[in-house]
Structure 1
C-alpha cells in the first residue's frame, strides 16, 4: 500500500504527461502481481467499492477528532481524503501496514458492517500519505491527472507495444490484468480478447488554420460539419452491443435506447447527439443530462432522445473496412445507414469544398447553432488510429469573447486545494435600483500558475462574504475584476438567473486594466443568442 501511496503522491505532483508515464512504467517494473494490476485498475477507474462512501469516511473521522475542527479544516483544504489523512490521530503499532491487494480483496468481500472497521484499522496502520492514498482508492476520488488512455500509453511504453494493441484488448480483460502483464513482460503470448463487439482505436484530426490548409488541394478533401456532441463508436457483434467514447470508455448503460437500435453487425464511428422537439439537434447541455449516469429512466430517454450522426463505417458484418480509402467507406456507409433505424441514426452531411476561402466563410458562420466548425478528410485516407498529420483536419469556428466581472470564487481540488481557482462571473443587467451583476458562467482554467497566484490574492484581499469554501468578492463598477471569457456557444437556461448558459467557458485574459463598469451587459449576450444560436429549424 505504501508503494501505491508514493505513486499517487508523485503522480499528483507531476504535471507533465511524459513524467507521469515514466512514473507509471517504473511502478509496473518494480511492483509484483497482483498489486500492480489493482493499482492500474484504480487509476483507470475500473475498481468500485460499494461499501465505502464519503459518508462513511465522515462518520469514521468524527469518532477520532473534534467535528468543529474537522469542518474548519475541510473548509480550508477542500478535499475529504486529504483532510481526513492529515487529521487522523494515528495509533502506531496498532496494526501492520496492509498490502494493496489485501485492501482490494478484503473491501470487495466486506459487508456493510465490516467495511468501516476495516478502513479504520488500515487508517491506524498507515502514515499520512498512506491514509490519503487509501481514502482516494476506496472512494474512487483519484484526481491525479491520469486518464485511462494515459495509463494505457504507459503500459504500451512499459511493454514496448503499440497503444492500439492494448486498446483493442482492454474490454476483454479484468483486474488485476495478470495475462496482460505476462504478455508485456515477454512471459506469455498476447492475450486473446474474449470481448465481443470490441473497441477499435479512433482516428483523430489535427487543428487547421487557413495558412496550414493553403499547402493542400481542396479537391483532395471531403468536408462535413463538426457537431457539438461526443465522438462515439457504436459496435454490434453476434448480439453483443456496446457504445464507446473516443477513449474507449463503455457508456452503454446510459443509452439503452441507442443499444436497442443497434440492429446490425458492424462498427460505426459518429457523433452522439440529442434531438430537440422539432427534430433538429439539441444543444450539448441536453446531451449532458444523459451522460455519466449509471441508470437512465424512461422519462429521461423520452425527454432527451439520443441519436447518432454517422461519420464513418469501420466494420460491415465481419469485413474490416479501415484500410479502404474514405471515398469507398463513405459509399458503404451511405448504403449501411439506409438499413438501420432512422430515428436513431442519420448520416453526416457533406459540405461543398470549392476553395479554402469559401469553406472559411461557412466555417465561421455554420447554418446550425450546434455545428462548431467543419471537419476535413482526405478522400483517399485510410482509417488510421491516432492523430496522423495531413489526412484529417478539424477547423473550428473562432471562440466568442465577452468581458465579465468576477463575483464568486471557490477553492480548487488536489494541488489547487489551497487556492481560489474556480471563478463565477457575471455581466451587468439593468434593475430597479440601477445596474447589477447576474452570473452567466463559471471557469477554472485558462490562466498560468503565476496568474493563479494573482487571482487568489485578489480574492483574499477583496472578500466581502464567506459561504463555506466559497467567497463573494467586491464586484462594484469601480472595484471589480474583469475577466475576458472565451466560450463556444450560448443557450437558454431556466436554471440560471440570467436565463443564459455558456458552452465551454474559460478565461481568455485577465483585464486588470479595465474598469468593471465597462464589462459587457446581459443584452449583448441575449442579442448574440438570438442572432447566432437560435435553432436553424425554429
Structure 2
C-alpha cells in the first residue's frame, strides 16, 4: 500500500505529461503482480468497491473527532479523503513507514471485495490506524473511487504501451475484455506470453480525429479530393453491437452505456458506428432547428436540441425515465467501422460512406441519421457555408479525403475541422474566486487559460476571467469541481488543478480581442463569458495561445 501511496503522491506533484508517463511505467516495472494490476485498475476506474461509501467514512470520523470541528476542517480542505487523512488520530502516526503490518494494495482490494457493508468500514478503520497520512490518503481515495491525480484512463494506457514498447491502439482494443489485476496483459507486455485474445464482445475501436484547417491547407481542399460535412455540436461517440452485447463509448474509450439506455434499446444491429450524440425531439417541439437529411430537404419529423440539452444526460451512471423523455438522444452517424463481422476501417472513406447509407437505412429513423454532405464546387463555397451555417447547432465544417482509411489518432491531412469564426475558444479553468451577494458562498468567478510552449511540455497562460454564462445548476457543479480539485489557496482565490490530462475545459465566448502589454499572454478579451462546460473534452485538447494570436491578425 505504501508503494501505491508514493506513486499517487508523485503523480499529484508531477505536472508534466511525460513525467507522469515515466512514473507509471517505472512503477509497472518495479512492482510485481498482482499489486501493479490493482494499481492500474484504481487509476483507470476499474475497481468497484461496494462495501464502503463516503457516508460511512464520515461516520467513522465522527467517532474520533468532534463533528463540528470535522465539518470546519472538511469545508476548509474541500476533499473528504484528504481531510480524514490529515486529521485521523492514529496511534501510530510516524511509525507506519517500515511497519510490517501495513496492508498491501492487493490485501485491501481483495478483503473489501469480500466484505459486507458492515465489515467494510471496520476494515478501513483498522487500516487507517496502521497507515501514515500518505497511506491513509491513498486508501481513502481508493475506496471512494476518486483519485484525482491528473491521470486519465487513456494516459495510464499510454504508460502501459510505453512500458511494453507497443502501440496504445492494441491495448485500447483489448481493454474492455480484460479484468483486474491484468496479469495476462502484463505477461504479454513483458514478453512472457502471447498477446491476449479479447473475449469481450463489442470492443472499443480507437477513433480517428481531425486537424484544424489552417490557411496553408486551403488550396488542397477540392471537391474531387474532399467531402464536406457539417460539424455538429454534440459529443463524439461510438455505438457498437456484437453477439448481442450493446455498448456506447466516448471518444476516449470510456463506456457510457449506462447513461443512454434509450439509445441502446434501439441498437438492433451488428456492427460499429462512429458519430455525434445529440438530443432530438419530435418536430412538434418548438424552438430547435430541424435535423438535415442525408440527401434532399431537411427532415420534418425531428428537431435537434442544443448542447445544453445534451448536458442534462452527460456524466451520469444512470438516468431517470423523466430525463430520457425530456431529453431523448439521437445519433448522427459519420462512419461505419464494422459491418457485422467485417472490419471496414481499411476501406476508403467513399466506400465506407456508401456502406453506411445502406446500414443506417434499416435503423430506427428517430434515433439514427447520417451526417449530410455539403455540396460545393470551390473553396469559396465552403467559406460562405461556414460563415452562415443553416442551424445554430452547427459549429463549422468537417473536410474528409474521399480516399482516407480510418486511422486511429490524429493524422495530418486526411481529415480537417474548420470551426466558425469568431469568437469561441476552449480554455482550461485555472483559478476560482468566491462571488458576491447571493454567490458569496460559491466559487463563481473563473480565470481560464490556454496552452503555450512546446507540444511535449505545454503550460497554461491565463487569457481571461468570466463570471456569467452558466446556469445556477451549472454553478453548483462548478463550485463542487473547484473544491474537489483545489491545489492552493490565496485568500478568497483557489488554484485549480489544470494539467494536460486533468482539467475542466470551458468553452469561452467573447466579443473581441486586443493586444495587451499588461497580461502575460499578450491578449485581452472583450466581454468574455462561459458559453458551456466541456466535461467531455480532455484538457490537452483545449486551444493554444497561437489560436488567439491568429485572431489578432
TM over 0.5: yes
Match of 2:31 in 1: 31
State whether residues 268 and 311 of structure 1, in contact with CA within 8 Å, keep that contact through their aligned partners in structure 2.
Answer: yes
Compared CA separation, residues 207 and 21, structure 1 to 2 (3 A):
same
1:498-528 Cα deviation digits (max 9, x unpaired): xxxx9833899999989xxx98699xx9xxx
- Please tell me whether residue 220 in structure 1 is matched to residue 225 in structure 2: yes
Secondary structure class of the residue paired with 1:352 = coil
Match of 2:20 in 1: 20
Compared CA separation, residues 81 and 510, structure 1 to 2 (3 A):
farther
Match of 1:193 in 2: 198
- Please tell me whether residue 126 in structure 1 is matched to residue 149 in structure 2: no
Match of 1:317 in 2: 340
Q: Post-superposition shift, 1:204?
A: 0.7
Quote the Cα distance in structure 1 between the aligned partners of 2:257 and 2:423: 34
State whether residues 223 and 352 of structure 1, in contact with CA within 8 Å, keep that contact through their aligned partners in structure 2.
Answer: yes
Quote the Cα distance in structure 1 between the aligned partners of 2:314 and 2:392: 21
Q: Post-superposition shift, 1:70?
A: 2.5
Match of 1:248 in 2: 253
- Of 136-145 and 89-98, deviating more is 89-98
Quote the Cα distance in structure 1 between the aligned partners of 2:274 and 2:342: 15
State whether residues 433 and 443 of structure 2, in contact with CA within 8 Å, keep that contact through their aligned partners in structure 1.
Answer: no
Q: Post-superposition shift, 1:9?
A: 0.9
Match of 2:449 in 1: 446
Q: 2:432 aligns with which of 421, 442, 452?
A: 421
Secondary structure class of the residue paired with 2:230 = strand
Where do 1:274-313 residues align within 5 Å? 274-276=279-281, 277-278=285-286, 279-313=302-336
State whether residues 168 and 200 of structure 1, in contact with CA within 8 Å, keep that contact through their aligned partners in structure 2.
Answer: yes
State whether residues 449 and 460 of structure 2, in contact with CA within 8 Å, keep that contact through their aligned partners in structure 1.
Answer: no
Quote the Cα distance in structure 2 between the aligned partners of 1:395 and 1:230: 17
State whether residues 443 and 505 of structure 1, in contact with CA within 8 Å, keep that contact through their aligned partners in structure 2.
Answer: no
Match of 1:505 in 2: 508
Compared CA separation, residues 10 and 357, structure 1 to 2 (3 A):
farther
- TM-score for the superposition, normalised by structure 1: 0.77
- Please tell me whether residue 143 in structure 1 is matched to residue 148 in structure 2: yes
1:377-426 Cα deviation digits (max 9, x unpaired): 10100001111111011111235379xxxxxxxxx9xxx8xxx5367699
Quote the Cα distance in structure 2 between the aligned partners of 1:521 and 1:385: 35
Compared CA separation, residues 506 and 49, structure 1 to 2 (3 A):
farther
Quote the Cα distance in structure 2 between the aligned partners of 1:344 and 1:75: 44
Match of 2:393 in 1: 370
State whether residues 443 and 506 of structure 1, in contact with CA within 8 Å, keep that contact through their aligned partners in structure 2.
Answer: no
How many residue pairs were aligned? 454
1:142-175 Cα deviation digits (max 9, x unpaired): 1111111111111111111111111111111111
Secondary structure class of the residue paired with 1:64 = coil
Quote the Cα distance in structure 2 between the aligned partners of 1:332 and 1:425: 57
Secondary structure class of the residue paired with 1:106 = helix
Quote the Cα distance in structure 2 between the aligned partners of 1:305 and 1:422: 36
1:159-202 Cα deviation digits (max 9, x unpaired): 11111111111111111111111111111111111111211111
Structure 1 unpaired stretches of 5+: 403-411, 427-436, 456-466, 472-480, 482-501, 526-538
State whether residues 449 and 461 of structure 2, in contact with CA within 8 Å, keep that contact through their aligned partners in structure 1.
Answer: no
Secondary structure class of the residue paired with 1:446 = strand
Secondary structure class of the residue paired with 1:222 = strand
State whether residues 444 and 506 of structure 1, in contact with CA within 8 Å, keep that contact through their aligned partners in structure 2.
Answer: no
Q: 1:180 aligns with which of 167, 185, 193?
A: 185
Match of 1:498 in 2: none
Secondary structure class of the residue paired with 1:350 = coil
State whether residues 204 and 385 of structure 1, in contact with CA within 8 Å, keep that contact through their aligned partners in structure 2.
Answer: yes
1:267-303 Cα deviation digits (max 9, x unpaired): 1111111114252110112222222222223222221
Q: Post-superposition shift, 1:212?
A: 3.4
Quote the Cα distance in structure 2 between the aligned partners of 1:53 and 1:511: 50
- Please tell me whether residue 329 in structure 1 is matched to residue 352 in structure 2: yes
- Please tell me whether residue 387 in structure 1 is matched to residue 410 in structure 2: yes
Q: Post-superposition shift, 1:450?
A: 9.2
State whether residues 266 and 364 of structure 2, in contact with CA within 8 Å, keep that contact through their aligned partners in structure 1.
Answer: yes
- Please tell me whether residue 163 in structure 1 is matched to residue 168 in structure 2: yes
- Of 206-215 and 258-267, deviating more is 206-215
Compared CA separation, residues 451 and 18, structure 1 to 2 (3 A):
closer
Compared CA separation, residues 503 and 446, structure 1 to 2 (3 A):
closer
Secondary structure class of the residue paired with 1:36 = helix
Compared CA separation, residues 468 and 367, structure 1 to 2 (3 A):
closer
- TM-score for the superposition, normalised by structure 2: 0.75
